[in-house]
Chains A and B, each alone.
Chain A
Amino acid sequence: MLKYIIRRLAMLIPVLLGVSILAFSLMQLIPGDPARSMLGEKATESQLMQLREEMGLNDPYIVQYGRFLGSVLQGDLGESIKSKEDISVELLNRLPATIELTMFAMILAIVVGILAGVIAAVKQYSWFDNLSMTGALFGVSLPIFWLGLMMIWLFSVKLGILPASGRLSNDVELNTITNFYLLDSILTGNWVAFKDVFTHLLMPGVALGTIPMAIIARMTRSSMLEVMKQDYIRTANAKGLARHLIVFRHALKNAFLPVLTVIGLQFGLLLGGAVLTETIFSWPGVGRYVYLAVLGRDYPVVQGAILIIAIIFVLVNLITDILYKYFDPRISYN
């Protein structure tokens, strides 16, 4: 098992190398000149030339890439063209906000999605089944930005019960330790802040979690329906086991494998979804940072963020693969 994990971690190297090449070339292909965007429209040609020379933009691509890769390997993602801030530091500062939001959305999606899927399968064709699966169909079809805006309109503008933006109200104090605000408020026993953080998380969490929730619910339902027909479920019934043992121990553990695959994939997609959600809810995370960087042609920031997101994506996939083994002992990694 350990061998497998090490091998998988080693495989990260070529994957990330590929990602770095893609991130680098993408930024070369996009029209626009960083030197011009830094100096503005009024800059003279000689000023531009000088800056390009300073930034190494006149060097061959391969040299530029080598330089980029060299500093990335030292943990240096360069500095922002716009703000001159260190990108690694900026990304690390924003990462907890994004991870907190995606984790919140994912846990919401997993808990509600699986529960709804299981009940829908066990009570197939009941009103609950019909209602939840119609709901799931809507869930996968709703664009995140539309759902987000509608929720802001209803809960913030009309009803005024949930905050429309940010992670924490201005008048609420919170000592940060991990920068995961929900965790920090628990660690410091600050329940006022906990409630405030939670209400801030609610809408962006739901907006982000709706699509994975709907997909997980549908996957769980169909997988459960398949498993409930298996011989070992008949055996479990013939043993006189209680219904909840049959459904949750015997059926769900078998039905979970395809659901796990979906969860892993959705987690990666969630990181993309976070760009939209964070923008709508002014969430100070990586997504919003990237969005602003793209608008401002802040190439190094975009490159750095792509790399970070790719690393997270690959790690989530690795965790998914390791979890397979827990849910299905027949899987062997040797």
Chain B
Amino acid sequence: MKDETPILQVKQLHTHFFSKSGVVKAVDGVNFDIKPGETLGIVGESGSGKSITAMSIMRLIPSPPGKIVNGEVLFKGEDLLKKSEKQMRKIRGKEISMIFQDPMTSLNPVLTVEKQMIETILTHENMNKSQARERAVELMDLVGIPESRNRLKNYPHEFSGGMRQRVMIAMALACNPEVLIADEPTTALDVTIQAQILELLNKLQKELGMAIVMITHDLGVVAEVCDRVMVMYAGKPVEFTEANSLFANPKHPYTWGLMNSIPKITSKKEKLEAIEGAPPDLRALPQGCSFAPRCKHAMEQCLTIDPSITKVEESHHVRCLLYEETEKVIST
């Protein structure tokens, strides 16, 4: 059974980028928590702030121009934002690790896989080189890379895309992290390989019990692996609920848009529905709801009032005036 105390809690996270043309509020008030063994999905379009959220947790925001201006990231009760860079280096790769979107570019092309893998182990674990090498072989086996011992001597370009992502995963799991942040781990892969990687992550999570933060723009991935989901738009969470109830009963008009833009095998329509318009300029957000200019259901007050996130059902939170209205209606 899952432990109910969250291992990672993000509270009121605000990460802004200070550019000459203005302040980009890339992450603007994100809250979530994740329990050991749980998978939390963070979904949104490009530029919605999901990757920046992940990088903020790891404290890997390039600064300048980026800065975490407010909030708390509690890992096992301790605020990571208050840690020194040196303390963070001990956490990165050991207690919280990360895998990235493009396994083609995320591995160093001029170092062997072995070198890249054992340097993580040597950095964090009290092992000598040959022990670290043995551990690397174990990890390669764990993620299902055949002929693991020989393959360690290879360079990244000698692996296929899917195999490279397996190497990335093996590297991330080297020190048995408690949280794995997966930033679009399947986006750059073929569909069949995508399924294999997701299956692998699922299997590893069951074996190792880590929590996974799965960042994706693909609702299919969410359906496959996530327990709970946070939908982000323009740096803010707009809907936060259990994965099942998101699919069964999506509440936010943006989530409806996302759902409609998934191609369905049963549908006879030739043209995919898209959400009209483009994500807003984060330097100059509209006064009211950020989504209002693209929202088919926008009301007059949506353009002036920025809604707060409200609980509409048990463990289902939405940031939309439609529901604030209904609540008001219900309460009057």
Contact = CB atoms under 8 A, between A and B. Distances in A.
Interface string B167-193: 010010000000000000000000000
Nearest to B85: A243
A232 B155 CA distance: 13
A329 B58 CA distance: 31
Given A249-B111, A329-B155, A240 B90 contact: yes
A241 B108 CA distance: 13
B94 A234 contact: no
A236 B168 CA distance: 11
B157 A329 contact: yes
A170 interface: no
B107 interface: yes
A84 interface: no
A234 B53 CA distance: 15
A230 B92 contact: no
A242 interface: yes
B108 A237 contact: no
Interface in B113-130: 119-120, 123-124
B107 A240 contact: no
Contacts of B120: 239-241
B123 A230 contact: no
Interface string B186-206: 000000000000000000000
A237 B155 contact: no
A300 B47 CA distance: 71
Contact of B106 (A234, A253, A254): A234
Nearest to A239: B93
A254 B102 CA distance: 18
Q: How large is the interface on B (under 10, 10 to 19, 20 to 34, 35 or more residues)?
A: 20 to 34
B105 interface: yes
Contacts of B65: none
Interface string B86-114: 00111111100110101001111111000
Main secondary structure of the interface of A (DSSP, over half): helix
Contact of B119 (A238, A245, A328, A330): A245
A37 interface: no
Contacts, number: 76
B23 interface: no
A254 B92 contact: no
A240 B60 contact: no
B105 A239 contact: no
Interface in A241-259: 241-242, 245, 249-250, 253-254
Contacts of A231: 100, 102, 105-106
B93 A238 contact: yes
Interface in A316-334: 327-330
A235 interface: yes
A239 B116 CA distance: 10
B106 A240 contact: no
A232 B109 contact: yes
Nearest to B92: A240
B5 to A, nearest CB: 25
A142 B97 CA distance: 50
B98 to A, nearest CB: 4
A240 B157 contact: no
A330 B155 contact: yes
B60 A234 contact: yes
Interface string B13-41: 00000000000000000000000000000
Contacts of A330: 109-110, 155, 157
B124 A254 contact: no
B119 A254 contact: no
A327 B109 CA distance: 10
Interface centre among B106, B107, B168, by most chain A C-beta atoms within 10 angstroms, is B106
A234 B157 contact: no
A195 B120 CA distance: 45
B18 to A, nearest CB: 16
Contacts of A241: 89, 93, 119-120, 123
Given A231-B106, A329-B155, A240 B91 contact: yes
Contacts of A232: 105-109
A253 B110 contact: yes
Interface in A278-334: 327-330
Contact of B110 (A236, A239, A245, A328): A328
Nearest to B95: A240
A326 B60 CA distance: 31
Nearest to A330: B157
15 contacts: A234-B60, A234-B106, A235-B106, A235-B168, A238-B92, A238-B98, A239-B92, A240-B123, A241-B89, A253-B110, A253-B111, A254-B109, A329-B157, A330-B109, A330-B157
Interface of A: 230-232, 234-242, 245, 249-250, 253-254, 327-330
Given A238-B100, A254-B109, A329-B110, 11 more contacts: A232-B109, A234-B100, A235-B168, A237-B60, A240-B89, A240-B92, A253-B108, A254-B108, A327-B110, A329-B155, A330-B155
Question: A-B pairs with the 6 shortest C-beta distances?
Answer: A240-B93, A240-B92, A239-B93, A231-B105, A232-B108, A238-B98
